[in-house]
Each structure stands twice: as C-alpha cells, then as structure tokens.
Amino acid sequence: MQTSKPNTIGTGQLFLALFVSRIVILLSTNTVLAGGELFQEYLPSCLAAWLLTLLLALPAWLLHRQRPEQNLLQAARSLLGRAGLLLIPVYAAYFLLFGGFCLSLLQLFMANVMEPLAPLPLIAVVTSLAASYAAWKGFEAVGRTAALVSGFAAGGLLLILFILAGKFDSLRFVPFFGDGGAQAATGTLLLLARSDGLTALCLLSAQTRGRLGRGFFVWNTAVYALTAGLFAVMTGAMGGYLGGQLFPVYAAASFAEAGVIQGMDALLIGIWLFSLLVKLSLDLYQLRLCVECAAPRAGRWAAPAGALLIAAISVSICSFRPLQQLFYGPWLFLGLTLACAVAIPLLLAAVSAAHSRRGSRKTRGRGRRAAALLLVCGMLCSLTGCQQQIRLNRRLLIEAVGVDREGEAYLLTVQSTKITEGETREVSVYTARGPSVLEALDSLTQQTGQDPLYSHALVVVFGRSSAEQGIASSLDFFIRNAETRPNAQIMLAEGEAAEVLTAKREEQTISSKVLGEILETENMNGRIARVSLTDFVNLCTEEGSAPYLPVVRAAENGVEAAGTAVLDREGRLLGILDGEETRGALYLLGRFQRGPETVSFPGGALLTVDLHDLELRVEPSVENGAPRFAIELSCSADIGSLDGALTQSCGEEAYGEFERALAGQIEKEAQTALDLCLREYRADIFRFCRRLQQAEPSYWNAHGGEWQELAAEAACTLRVTVDVARVGQEDTPRLE
C-alpha cells in the first residue's frame, strides 16, 4: 500500500490544535448541552470526565506504542488487509458529522443572537471552505495556525474569567447533587461524547514528534480546568440567570465589563470564529487522511469536498428539529466516540500484539506556511453578506426603557441617543403602546422609520403600576433577547416610569448615562441599592429569596433616590424602605460601600462620620428545629465633623463613646430593616435562605417550602463593631 508522506508537527502543536477545537464546544455549551439548568453541576462532571478520558485514551496510546509510524487506518490495513478498508467510511462519517455539528452551533448562534439576520447557508459554505484551505495545505499548516489562535483564545477567555471573578458571589451556589446527581451524570456523558480529541489521537499521533503521553495529560487537564473554572466563575457571577440563556458563555461575556467597555461579547465572537476554523481544518485534514488510505491521489480533494458536505450537514441540523435532538443529545456521539476512539483501537492493539512487530517506514514531510489561511480568515467577514442589511444611521439606539401599565396594555417610554456632528449627545424620547413589551417596542419602527437596537440599553425603569401587577411577567423580553445587556440597571419609579425618563436638568432631558451616574453616586453614599437585570432575575428565581429594587423619582433638579422597594417573587410591590431603612438593608446585604452616618449625644453634640470597609458575616444554624442567624457587622469610620458646645478635653476615652454610639445606631437601622422585610413583608431580600441551604441542606430540603413563615420567626442576633479612625488630634472633647 502506498501512502503520501505526511508532514509532521510537534506534540505541542497537536494539542494546541485539539485545545482550540475543544473551545468551540465550551463556548456553545448551554442548558441542553449541559443536561440541566444548574451549571455548577458541570463541575463534578468535569472531574469525572477528566478521569474517564485518561482511561479511555489507553487503547489509542497502546496502539501508537505498538505501531508508532502508522495511524489507525494504516495499522488496520496492515493487520486486517482489505477488510481494514471497511473502517474508512466509519471514520470519514465521524469527522463529517462532528464538523457539521460544530458548525451548526455557530449558525444557531448567528440566527438567534446576531442582528441583522445573516444568510446561514452562505456562512456555512464560506466558513467550511475557508477551513478547508489549511487541510489542503497539510498538517503543518493546521498546527501553525492553531498555535497562533490558541494564544488569542486562551488570553481572551482568561481575561473574561478574570473580569467575572470580580463579580463572584458564593451565595449563588446551592448544595451539589440536589437532584441525586442526574445532571452531573448527564453532563459527564455529554463531555465524553464530545471528546473527539481521543479519535484525533488515533489518526494524528503518527504525525507528531515528542512525548505524546505527557502532552495528552497536560491537554486533558487544561481543557477540563478551563471548563470547570469558567463555569464556576460564571455561576458565581450570574447564578440562575444563566439557565434562561441559549448561549450562557456569550451572556457572561456581555456581563463582563472592562472600564468603558460595556461587555466582552465582541471578543468572544472572535474567539469562537477563529477556534471554529481550526476545528474544521482539523476535521477536514483527518477526512483527507481517510481518503488517502484508499485513494492517495484524491486525498487533497477530500478537503474542499468534505467542506461542502459539512456545510450541508450543519444547515440540515439547523433546519430540522429531529436532527437537533439527535445531534445535541449525548447518545449519537457517545456511541461513535467510544467505537472510534476506544473499541476499534483496542481491537487493533490486540490483533497487533498477536503478530510479530513489523518494521514500518518512517517518513517525514515538510509542510508549508499557513499565512494564506489567516488571509482567508480575514476575508471571511467580507464574504458573508447580511440579509436586510441596515446601516447604523438607520438604527434607533435605545439606551433606556420605561415600562408602565394601563390595564392589560403596556405603555413604554423609550429614550434614544444619537451623536451629532459636533459629537454631542442628543436625547430623544418616544412613547409606545402595545399588548406586550415586544409589540410596543416594535411599533417604534413605524414612528421613527428606524429599526430598534437594544444592545445599548443601560437602564430599565418600571413604573409603580407595573410593580402593582408584577414586574416578573414583563421581564421575559429583556431576558430572552440576546441584544439586551445582562448588566442593565433595573429600578422602580415612585410614580410613573415616564416621569423619570423625561425628567430634565438645566432644560435638558437626563440621559440614561447620567441616570446611571446618579445611581452610582447615590450607591456610593449608601442611599440606594443598585440592581442589575442579572441580580433581579436571580432573586426572583432563587428558592426562598425575594427581589428588591432601587426607587427613584423625578425632582426639580432631575432625578433623586427615594428608597428601596421590597417585592415578592412575582415582582409585586410589598413596601418601600425609606433612606434610613435602606441603609440598614444595605448593611445586611453586605452591599454598603461607604456613606455618612450621624449620631447625637446628650447636650446636642452631633458626630458625623464617613463609614467604609463594611464586612458582613452571617452564621446560620438550626436550634430546636428552628433556624437561627448570628449576624456580625464591622466597619471603619472617619470623623467628618463633631459639632456642639464641647469645651473640655479628655483624650482617647471619647473614641470608645463614639464607637459605641455608632454601633448602636447601625444596629438600630439594621434591626429595623430586618423586622420590616422578614416579619412584616415576609420577604427575604437578604438571602438568608441561601445561606441556610448551603449550611443545612437536609433541613432546607425538608422545610424550604415554608420559608416565609420560618423566616418571620427566625431568631436573629446582631453584633456591630465600629473602628473610629484617629484624625491626628491629640485631644478629644468630652461628651457630657
């Protein structure tokens, strides 16, 4: 049997190519591919899949040790004769189906997320043909391209992970295996089913130089460490919000703010596209190897022909739901992977062991450069056109949406901003009406002649009328629409949302950007609680928790804070905390950053301090069948002013009086917020339920359904300590 001399690459390049290929699966993982809505269950799945992958790789490694200069198909031809040719269509079908599956994920993303709509068949054809160029040039071209893309992909994902880590909240986790481990088991099967790197080892190990075993261990560890790390940080940053997203990693990238950059979603799309090109190139090159085993001269032509087949398969998957159920479930690729990567190599290794070792010809080839592939990748954007292309000046850049209710109808106030030639922001306000949020927003096209673009939406304001009927029922559009930002700020208007979005300052309408800055300032002063779309959805969906929203109102000089709204799980208004009660709630939420606090002393003396560096510690427990919470608050205080007729000095001992008085004031405010929320409104906005669920899962499983009543009766002890910083004065006035 004659075969063309394959070019070779180092094991590092091979596993970089396989690493980049696996990123395609990582970026497209959703609740369907993960087997459930709790992505934290993916963490034990990663550990189990890591261990099982090491075991499943043994047959391919054993066959390579026996026949290091032959790939699996060549070994089969040598050991089985003409019967070995029967394996060629099996492996060719595997690579075609897997490539079509990966390409279909990009098409689904483009169809559901990107705007305007792009022609999916054209995207499929151009992407697969661009990838076929590297397969045509040879293995060395694929390896070099993968080495370049891997640095970009790994760096970009680590950047997103680092930014999301700053938003991490351990309370977003629940005890593992709440469903008995069903989702973790399904996730493990799905990870193994998509372990096409095992099959790649069977065909590509003969064309690599270096220590294959060590490289495989490092690759396997890096893949699952990155997967587990990303999903752990995503869960800690966004919680249950991810369960409602078709592409959760994309939503997480949108949530990752970096300075003035509102999201890292554009970076993620670039990582996905370039990783997919490497993945398809690798599949097409392995298809080429399959064809060369039967017809060496036709090998190269298998790459472009296979590219068209992959495009056709991907379009078919996207077009027919039965095919989606087949390809996106675990069983198709699990069976194929176990057969191609485990059973067949094990059989051949057994046959080879029964024969005497034969000398094999070791050939080395020299590949060509992959610069042309990068050029084709750069041309990809120009080759894929868009249906109904809309220029930016024909888009209505929506930055704020106000939602009021009138009976069953929605009354929307939409704030749009455009940049004029003088680079000034021009704010326009539109009103719309409809039976649903989406229909009302779509009516803006008739008013303006422009197509709405929601990716700039920074603020969503609900009127009191919406809160009286339930805000949760109005949120589906903002959650489902991939253009809306998961970090959009949600707030409640004291009256109508329209009043807030039409409020003026110095005869100019306050833009959503300025409104966001006002919220940030009020939050820094400890007068308001900022809540993002992600936060609100998580509070509504977490078992036992209750949502809350900052309340704002229109004033003579613009917009001002008006407290904090406490709502039930359906988003219906239960009550509003005033400024002092809001500060107490912020203490218990652990979200107080800094702000002024004033206490009075006998004789009319007033001490005003700037509180900062607050630390909250809550220890849940169960005593005599009832929940108990030990709450500790500690913070630092800088003296701002000490007013009053204070003439005597006594030195350091007065600081103790300051600290006790401040601790008493903070404890009073926190206790008031605690009593109002838990006992009067029966709303656990403090997420004590999640702390109890993490600490006492068995108790929670038995009594979680009656948490509102249990929370109202729960024993809560408060302990507050304040450290008053010295301000450089040697003497401190006596307080009498």
pLDDT-derived band at 1 (thresholds 50, 70, 90) equals very low
Euclidean distance between CA atoms 485 and 558, whole angstroms? 25
| Percentage of the chain lying above the pLDDT 70 cut | 86
The region of weakest confidence among 354-368, 486-500, 531-545 is 354-368
φ/ψ region of 259 (left if φ > 0, alpha if ψ in -120 to 50, else beta) reads left
The region of weakest confidence among 242-246, 293-297, 517-521 is 517-521
Alpha carbon dihedral 250, 252, 255, 256, in 10-degree steps, equals: -100
Task: Tell me phi and psi for residue 734, to 5 degrees.
Answer: -75, 145
User: What pLDDT does 549 receive?
Assistant: 92
Contact 447, 432 (CB under 8 A): yes
pLDDT digits (tens, 9 = 90+) for 634-662: 999 988 877 764 444 545 667 788 888 89
pLDDT digits (tens, 9 = 90+) for 223-257: 999 999 998 999 998 888 888 788 888 888 888 87
Identify any residues that bridge with 610 across adjacent strands, giving them in sequence order. Answer: 596, 638
Instruction: Enumerate long-range contacts of 261-267, CB under 8 Å, 24 or more apart.
Output: 262/458, 262/485, 262/487, 263/485, 263/487, 264/156, 264/159, 264/160, 264/163, 267/156, 267/159, 267/160
Give how far the C-alpha of residue 590 lies from the chain's centroid of Cα atoms, to the nearest Å.
23
Q: Is the pLDDT of residue 677 over 90?
A: yes
Paired tokens of 644? 């009053």
User: What pLDDT does 232 receive?
Assistant: 92
pLDDT digits (tens, 9 = 90+) for 545-555: 999 999 988 88
User: What pLDDT does 312 receive?
Assistant: 93
pLDDT-derived band at 566 (thresholds 50, 70, 90) equals very high
User: What pLDDT does 7 receive?
Assistant: 64
User: What pLDDT does 308 receive?
Assistant: 93
User: What pLDDT does 509 receive?
Assistant: 79
Paired tokens of 650? 């006594």
Q: Is the pLDDT of residue 390 over 80?
A: no
Q: Annotate 240-269 with DSSP letters as a single string.
A: GGGGG-SSHHHHHHHH--BTTB--SHHHHH
Q: Is the pLDDT of residue 3 over 80?
A: no
pLDDT-derived band at 268 (thresholds 50, 70, 90) equals confident
The region of weakest confidence among 35-39, 464-468, 486-490 is 35-39
Please provide the size of the chain in residues: 736
Short-list 233, 273, 678, 345, CA closest to 242: 233
Work out whether strand 605-623 and strand 594-601 pair parallel, antiparallel, or are unpaired.
antiparallel
Work out whether strand 531-532 and strand 489-493 pair parallel, antiparallel, or are unpaired.
antiparallel
Average pLDDT in the 213-232 region?
Answer: 91
Burial degree of 402 (CB within 10 A; 0-12, 13-18, 19+): buried
pTM of this structure: 0.78
Euclidean distance between CA atoms 303 and 314, whole angstroms? 16
Q: Is the pLDDT of residue 120 over 90?
A: no
Average pLDDT in the 388-415 region?
Answer: 76
Short-list 275, 191, 212, CA closest to 14: 212
Enter the DSSP assignment of 153: H
Task: Tell me phi and psi for residue 420, to 5 degrees.
Answer: -85, 175
Q: Is the pLDDT of residue 461 over 80?
A: yes
Average pLDDT in the 187-209 region?
Answer: 88
Short-list 571, 557, 554, 592, CA closest to 673: 592
Average pLDDT in the 181-195 region?
Answer: 88
Euclidean distance between CA atoms 454 and 435, whole angstroms? 19
Instruction: Using alpha carbons, list the distances in angstroms from residue 570 to 344, 470, 475, 536, 589.
Output: 55, 5, 11, 11, 21
Average pLDDT in the 730-734 region?
Answer: 48
Euclidean distance between CA atoms 237 and 231, whole angstroms? 10
Contact 313, 283 (CB under 8 A): no
Euclidean distance between CA atoms 302 and 285, whole angstroms? 8
Contact 66, 58 (CB under 8 A): no
User: What pLDDT does 218 receive?
Assistant: 92
Short-list 562, 565, 561, 555, CA closest to 502: 555
Among 109-113, 370-374, 696-700, the range with the most confident prediction by mean pLDDT is 696-700
Q: Is the pLDDT of residue 474 over 70?
A: yes
User: What pLDDT does 691 receive?
Assistant: 92
The region of weakest confidence among 318-332, 356-370, 426-440, 635-649 is 356-370
Contact 685, 547 (CB under 8 A): yes
Bigger pLDDT: 390 vs 236: 236
pLDDT digits (tens, 9 = 90+) for 372-388: 333 344 334 444 444 44
Q: Is the pLDDT of residue 361 over 70?
A: no
Contact 271, 371 (CB under 8 A): no
pLDDT digits (tens, 9 = 90+) for 124-157: 888 889 888 888 888 888 888 888 888 888 888 8
Contact 11, 215 (CB under 8 A): yes
Instruction: Using alpha carbons, list the distances in angstroms from residue 691 to 409, 532, 544, 695, 708.
Output: 39, 21, 11, 6, 15
Euclidean distance between CA atoms 238 and 254, whole angstroms? 11
Contact 197, 21 (CB under 8 A): yes
User: What pLDDT does 262 receive?
Assistant: 67
Paired tokens of 600? 């009075």
| Percentage of the chain lying above the pLDDT 90 cut | 24
Residue 357 burial (CB count, 10 A): 9
Alpha carbon dihedral 669, 671, 673, 678, in 10-degree steps, equals: 180
Angle between helix axes 58-66 and 344-354 (nearest 10 degrees) is: 30
Euclidean distance between CA atoms 585 and 593, whole angstroms? 12
To the nearest whole number, what is the mean pLDDT of the chain? 82
Enter the DSSP assignment of 4: P
Q: Annotate 398-440 with DSSP letters as a single string.
A: EEEEEEEEETTEEEEEEEEEEE-TTS-EEEEEEEEEESSHHHH
Contact 91, 203 (CB under 8 A): yes
Identify any residues that bridge with 400 across adjacent strands, giving them in sequence order. Answer: 415, 459
Euclidean distance between CA atoms 18 and 172, whole angstroms? 32
Contact 665, 597 (CB under 8 A): yes
Q: Give kind and range of the element (H or E) at residue 79.
A: helix 72-80
User: What pLDDT does 367 receive?
Assistant: 33
